Structure 1
Amino acid sequence: MKAMVYTQYGSPKVLRLEEVEKPIPKDDEVLLKVHAASLNSWDWDRLTGKPRIYRLLSGIGKPKLPILGADVAGVVVETGAKIRKFKPGDEVFGDLSAGKWGAFAEYTCAKEKELTIKPTSMTFEEAAAIPQAGGMALQALTEKRKINAGDSVLINGAGGGVGTFAIQIAASLDANITAVDLSEKHAMLQSLGASGVVDHTKEDFTKQGKQYDLIVDVIATRSISDYKRALKPGGVYSMIGGHLGTIFQVGLLGGFASTKERRLGILIQQPNKPLTAFIKLFEEGKVKPVIDKVYPLEELPEAFQRLGDGSIKGKVVITLQTEINKQH
C-alpha cells in the first residue's frame, strides 16, 4: 500500500511517499481502508519534533511511529476476532491519536473505541475534518461552563479547525462571539457567526478593557494575569494550545490563580468521546466543517507546509480514494 512516511524529525521535506506492507489487524482491531484524513497541529508537532519535550511521547532520537495522521474516515474491510461493534463495509471515522496514528496511508488499523459510525449525510472529507478539532471545540464550550443565550465568548485562534467549529457551536447557543485571528480570515469568521473580530497582530484582546464569560484559547501566548483580567466574574478561561511557556504556566499555576469568580485551566482532550453529540449538531445543521482545501496523499508535504505557515482557514483534508469519495 502507499503511505506517507517519515523516519526523522524536520520540515515537510522529510516526508516520503513509499510502498509499505499493509497492516494486519489484531484481535481487538479493525482494518480500515482510508478514504480521507486531516491535519492537526499535533501532526505538525510530531513531524518537526518541536518543542523537543514532545519527543518524550513521539520518540527521543527519531519518530517511533513512521506514519502520521490521527483524524481518519474510511470503510471497515476486516475485523479482528474480538470486534463486535463493526463489520466489513461499515463507514466510520475517528481519532487515532491515543493509539498507532497512521491515517496518511491507504490502510490503517484502529481499535473499536477509536471509531464511530459515519452518518450517510456526511462525506468522508467532512468526517475526516471533525474528530480532534470538533471534539475539542465541543468540550471547550460545554465542559467547564454552561453557555447561556447572550453570554460573551471569545475564541483566540478562531480561524483554524477548533476555532471554526467553536464559533458555529457557540452561535447555535445564541452566544455573542468575538473571534481573534488574522484580518484575512475575518470575513469567514463573521460568516460563521462571529459578531466581533480582532486581529491579534494589531490588537491585544486582553488590553481592550473588555471582559468575557468564556475564553477559548487555541494559541495562548499571554500571562495568567492577562487572561484573568479579560474574564467577567464567573468567567472561565480554557486553553487548548499555545506557546509552551504559557501552557506550563497555566497548567502549573492556573489552579492557584483561579477563584470562585474566575477559573483558568487547560482543556484535557477526550478522544472520540464528544463525537456522538457532535454528530447530532451536524445532522441538525448547526455545524459544518470549514474545509480550506482537499489534497491528494502525494501533496501532503504542501498541506503540511501551509499548516506550519498558519495560512489555513479551517481544516485541510487529505483524500486517498478520490473516485469513491465523489459518490458520497
Structure 2
Amino acid sequence: MRAVVQHRYGGPETLSLAEVEAPVPADDEVLIRVHAVAVSKGDALVMRGTPRAVRLAFGLRRPKRQILGRDVAGEVASVGARVTRFRVGDAVYAESDQGGYAEFVAVQERFVARRPATVDAVHAAAVPVSGTTALQGLRLAGIGPGAHLLVNGASGGVGGFVVQLAKAMGAEVTGVCSTAKAEHVRAIGADHIVDYTREDFTAGAARYDAIFDLVADHPLGRVRRALAPRGTLVLSSGTGGAVFGPFGRIIRASVMSVFVSQRLRPLAATRNGDDLAELARRIDAGEIVPFVDEVFPLERAAEAVARLESGEVRGKVVIEV
C-alpha cells in the first residue's frame, strides 16, 4: 500500500510517500480502507519528537512508528475472526494508533464506529481526536444548562467542537481567538468573543463556571482569577517546555487543586468507540458540524502538516487518500 513515512525526527520535510506492507487485521481488529485522515497537533509533535520526553515512548533517536495519523474515515475492507459489529463495506471512522497516513489501517473493533450518515469521509475524519477530546473535557467540567464556559483556543480543531457541544448542552459560551478568526468562532455558536490581540480574558471582570484551556498561554494563577470560586479549569494543551512540554503545568495544577476550592483538572482524552458513536448521533442531529480548513492529497501530506503548523487554520486540515 501507499503510505507517508518518516525515518527521522524533524519538520514536514522528513515525510515522504513510499510503498509499504499493508497491515493484516488481528482477530479483534477491523481493516479500514482509508478515504481520509485528519492532521492533528499531536501528529506534528510526534513528527518533531517534541517535547523531548515523548521520545521515551516514540523512540529515542528515531521514530519507532514510521506512519503518522490517528483520525481516519473510510470503509471496512476486512474483519478479524472475532469482530461482530462490522461487515465489509461498512462506512466507519476511528481513532487509530497504527498510523493513518496510509491506504489501509487496522483498528481494534472497540475503537471503531459507524460514520455520521450526513457527512462525507473528509468531514468525518475531522472528528475523532478533536471531538472526543472536546466531549470528554466538557464532561470533566460538568457542563450543563446555564453554565458559563470560556474556551481558550476556540478556533482550533478541538475548540470548535467544544464551542458547539457546549452550546448543545445548554451552556453560555465565550470564545477566545484572534481578530481574523472571530467571525468563524461566532458563526459556530459562541455567544461572546474575546479577541486576545486586544484584551486579556484573565484581566477582565467576568468569572466563568468553567474554562477549557487549549492554549496554556497564561500562568495558572492568572487563569484562576477568571474562574468562579468553585469553577473548573480543564487543562488540555500540548505546549510547554522543550523537554517536558505540558507536564510541569499539569503537576502544578494537580498540586494546587488540593489547596483551593476551584477544580484544576488535566485532561487525558482516551480512545472511545462509544464516544464516536455519540458524536455521530450529534452530527446527524445537526448539533455539531465538522469544519475542514483545507484538503490535501496523500502525496502532499508534508504540505498538510505545514499548513496546520502555520497557526492560520480554522477547524481541521484533512488528507484525502
Normalising by structure 1, what TM-score? 0.91
Q: CA RMSD in A?
A: 1.7
Matches within 5 A, 1:206-225: 206-225=202-221
Q: Distance in 2 between matches of 1:169 and 1:83?
A: 31
- TM-superposition CA deviations, 1:29-64 (whole Å, max 9, x none): 222110111011100101111111111121111001
Q: Distance in 1 between matches of 2:38 and 2:261?
A: 38
Could you tell me how far 1:250 is from its partner in structure 2?
A: 3.8
- Cross-structure match for 1:18: 18
Tell me if the contact between 1:250 and 1:264 (Cα under 8 Å) persists in the aligned partners.
Answer: no
Could you tell me how far 1:125 is from its partner in structure 2?
A: 1.2
1:91 aligns with 2:118: no
| Paired amino acid for 2:105 | T
1:53 aligns with 2:50: no
- Cross-structure match for 1:283: 284
Aligned equivalent of 2:117, options 114, 117, 120 = 120
- TM-superposition CA deviations, 1:106-134 (whole Å, max 9, x none): 11111112211123323111211100101
1:303 aligns with 2:301: no
| Paired amino acid for 2:176 | V
| Of 46-55 and 120-129, the range deviating more from structure 2 | 120-129
Residues 296 and 223 of structure 1: is their aligned pair in 2 closer, same or farther, counting only changes over 3 Å?
A: same
1:238 aligns with 2:239: no
- Cross-structure match for 1:69: 69
1:317 aligns with 2:318: yes
1:106 aligns with 2:107: no
| Paired amino acid for 1:125 | V
- TM-superposition CA deviations, 1:176-222 (whole Å, max 9, x none): 21111221110100111112222324432111232111100111132
Could you tell me how far 1:173 is from its partner in structure 2?
A: 2.7
Unaligned runs of 5+ in 1: 321-328
| Paired amino acid for 2:130 | A
Could you tell me how far 1:276 is from its partner in structure 2?
A: 2.3
Q: Distance in 2 between matches of 1:276 and 1:260?
A: 36
Tell me if the contact between 2:114 and 2:277 (Cα under 8 Å) persists in the aligned partners.
Answer: no
Could you tell me how far 1:152 is from its partner in structure 2?
A: 1.6
| Paired amino acid for 1:275 | L
SS in 2 for 1:274: helix
Tell me if the contact between 1:224 and 1:249 (Cα under 8 Å) persists in the aligned partners.
Answer: no
Q: Distance in 1 between matches of 2:154 and 2:312?
A: 12
Normalising by structure 2, what TM-score? 0.93
1:8 aligns with 2:8: yes
Aligned length: 316
Runs of 4+ in structure 1 over 4 Å off: none
Tell me if the contact between 1:131 and 1:275 (Cα under 8 Å) persists in the aligned partners.
Answer: yes
1:44 aligns with 2:44: yes
- TM-superposition CA deviations, 1:115-156 (whole Å, max 9, x none): 11123323111211100101111112223313222x221111
Q: Distance in 2 between matches of 1:32 and 1:175?
A: 36
1:132 aligns with 2:129: yes
| Of 126-135 and 256-265, the range deviating more from structure 2 | 256-265
Tell me if the contact between 1:182 and 1:200 (Cα under 8 Å) persists in the aligned partners.
Answer: yes
Q: Distance in 2 between matches of 1:284 and 1:53?
A: 41
Tell me if the contact between 2:234 and 2:264 (Cα under 8 Å) persists in the aligned partners.
Answer: yes
Aligned equivalent of 2:168, options 165, 172, 189 = 172
- TM-superposition CA deviations, 1:212-233 (whole Å, max 9, x none): 1110011113222112111012
SS in 2 for 1:143: helix
SS in 2 for 1:307: helix
- Aligned residues with identical type, % of pairs: 37
Q: Distance in 1 between matches of 2:40 and 2:119?
A: 20
Aligned equivalent of 1:181, options 177, 182, 188 = 177
- TM-superposition CA deviations, 1:268-299 (whole Å, max 9, x none): 20212422221221121110101111111112
Q: Distance in 1 between matches of 2:201 and 2:238?
A: 16
Tell me if the contact between 2:254 and 2:266 (Cα under 8 Å) persists in the aligned partners.
Answer: no
| Paired amino acid for 2:89 | G
1:145 aligns with 2:142: yes
Q: Distance in 2 between matches of 1:277 and 1:262?
A: 29
Could you tell me how far 1:260 is from its partner in structure 2?
A: 6.7
| Of 62-71 and 269-278, the range deviating more from structure 2 | 269-278
Could you tell me how far 1:242 is from its partner in structure 2?
A: 4.1
| Of 125-134 and 274-283, the range deviating more from structure 2 | 274-283
Q: Distance in 1 between matches of 2:239 and 2:116?
A: 36
Unaligned runs of 5+ in 2: none
Tell me if the contact between 1:250 and 1:266 (Cα under 8 Å) persists in the aligned partners.
Answer: no
- Cross-structure match for 1:34: 34
Could you tell me how far 1:256 is from its partner in structure 2?
A: 3.2
- Cross-structure match for 2:295: 294
